[in-house]
Amino acid sequence: MKKPAPHLVVVGGGAAGFFAAITAAESFPDARITILEKNRTLLNKVRISGGGRCNVTNAVPSLSQLVQGYPRGGKFLRPLVKQFSNADTVRWFEDRGVPLKTEPDGRIFPVSDDSADVVQCLIDTARRQRVEIRTSINIQSIDCQPDKFSVRLAPDELILADQLLIASGGHPNASGYGWLAELGHTIVPPVPSLFTFNVPASPLLALAGVSTPKASVRVPGTRQTQEGPVLLTHWGFSGPAVLRLSAWAARELAACNYQFDVAFNWNAETNDQTVRQLLADYRRIHARKQVVSVPAPGLPQRLWRTLVLEAGVPETTRWADAPAKALNRLCELLVNGTFRVAGKTTFKEEFVTCGGIALSDVNPQTLESLHQPGLFFAGEVLDIDGITGGYNFQAAWTTGYIAGKNCFGKNSI
């Protein structure tokens, strides 16, 4: 009698689940592969990602730069991106009919600017590979036996899997991982990453929409600091440098319940000494001009004016008449302007989970559980998360690829 085809069940029909299922199907054509998705629709996050455009990866030129985009999991990903990199992502989608383009900041999107093309490509490719896809599935229990898994889908429906691959994504609460903890895994407590800072008492709220090209932003009392564009918003601060800081400091900021000080040097190229010299030079060179009308380099006019007034220099004061004390204060506001953050706001609904399945519980070459043979993980369910710019999908593609490639062992089929 013919042996039944080995069966891989993938839990989660998101980016990582689809990539794992497709890779497994392409690598092991004789296997039976099923995706179980709890929602009615598939790939929901891919659909809404990047403001509906789907930022599939980032064009950073080297793999060492790529792994630096992960506050958690970068070291773990280092050998894995050698097997499936950002360049492989581009090739993968272009080979399957989704041309991509790179924006000046390195983010890569479909040329169509439509995430639906990415969704359709993944669904069509999975169907072509005869991956069975089941939606609206509410898994009731998973029973791990020595050489198989029983997945109960309903009181009267049980499916058996030879291999099980969990790609169920992140979850903001520890309760979302209870069923995985029951399978014997350590869960690194989840906290949100990628958020903007609420500063209700900021004197800059009226400047919403103004941005500085290269500020330095830090959390005093910690080692956390980032450089890059900062956007002033009507609730506080956003922009790439702030989002990056929120990711790298995700745990520290959660621990203080998002009540902390944040300090800005509005032009990262300057420091206290160079700004002091600049103000002295301006006082001499622009003696007859109003202070508010001559901004320091790198500062938008509206931000400069507000900081000048905050420093106690009246609107009509000329450089020659500016009190030394106020200029000292202005220098402090320019290089070390400190604001009290009281809470966070999600950035365009885009957030990722810091935390998840502990990487120490997973074989770093295959993504198989070290506690349960035949059980694999991929995507955000792992304790891996990236900064914005396509890094989170890249982690989903890379880990999905590795888990899919290894799920039946090297030569077992």
For position 256 contacting ligand FAD by CB under 6 A, the verdict is no
114-143: which residues touch ligand FAD (CB under 6 A)? 137, 139
Closer of 125 and 212 to ligand FAD (Cβ): 125
For position 54 contacting ligand FAD by CB under 6 A, the verdict is yes
Three-state secondary structure call for residue 371:
coil
CA distance 400 to 21: 8
CA distance 151 to 176: 18
Closer of 39 and 173 to ligand FAD (Cβ): 39
The DSSP secondary-structure symbol of 343 reads: -
Query: Which residue in the block uniquely carries the two structure tokens 């609904």?
Result: 349
CB of 16 to ligand FAD, least distance (A): 3
For position 12 contacting ligand FAD by CB under 6 A, the verdict is yes
- Interface with ligand FAD (CB under 6 A), residue total 34
Residue 20: both structure tokens together: 């794992």
Q: Which amino acid is at 71?
A: P
CB atoms within 10 A of CB 272: 13
Among 6, 73, 169, 374, binds ligand FAD (CB under 6 A): 169
For position 36 contacting ligand FAD by CB under 6 A, the verdict is yes
Burial class (CB in 10 A: 0-12, 13-18, 19+), 286: middle
For position 404 contacting ligand FAD by CB under 6 A, the verdict is no
CB of 350 to ligand FAD, least distance (A): 4
For position 67 contacting ligand FAD by CB under 6 A, the verdict is no
CB of 395 to ligand FAD, least distance (A): 7
The DSSP secondary-structure symbol of 382 reads: B
For position 349 contacting ligand FAD by CB under 6 A, the verdict is yes
Among 29, 38, 234, 301, binds ligand FAD (CB under 6 A): 38
Closer of 44 and 120 to ligand FAD (Cβ): 44
377-396: which residues touch ligand FAD (CB under 6 A)? 379-380, 390-393, 396
CB of 150 to ligand FAD, least distance (A): 15
CA distance 250 to 369: 26
The DSSP secondary-structure symbol of 230 reads: E
Q: Among candidates 188, 240, 207, which has minimal Cα distance to 356?
A: 188
Half-sphere exposure of 199 (CA within 13 A, CB side): 26
Among 207, 345, 350, 366, binds ligand FAD (CB under 6 A): 350
CA distance 245 to 255: 15
- Name the site residues for ligand FAD (rule: CB under 6 A): 11-17, 36-39, 44-45, 48-50, 54-55, 137, 139, 167-169, 349-352, 379-380, 390-393, 396
